[in-house]
Amino acid sequence: MPTNPTTLIRRERPEERTVSAQFDQLIKELIAGKIERGRFEIWEIGILLDSLSLSRITRPFLLRQYHKAVQRQLESGAALPMGLSQFLASREN
């Protein structure tokens, strides 16, 4: 049994490369309109749900812009991508 109780509840920070690769794959699938897996991280589910509000016509364009913004964010040291709804709200301002 661990002597430090916080080790039981502390969540490990996701690997930067893993998150980036997962995000790239998710955006690729969303742009193609074909999700090829059935298991998602919680942050991916938020993106999936937010993407439902995008029109079919503007979806690829907006997702590419979102992808670039998140890539910059992850390169700057963010642990997880910003939500799609957060990105869309920032565009409106």
CA distance 56 to 9: 41
% of the chain exceeding 70 in pLDDT: 83
Angle among Cα 77, 17, 41 to the nearest 5 degrees reads: 95
CA distance 87 to 93: 10
pTM score, whole prediction: 0.80
68 in Cβ contact with 74 (< 8 Å): no
CA distance 55 to 17: 30
Tens of pLDDT, residue by residue over 16-35, are 678 999 999 999 999 999 99
CA distance 22 to 43: 10
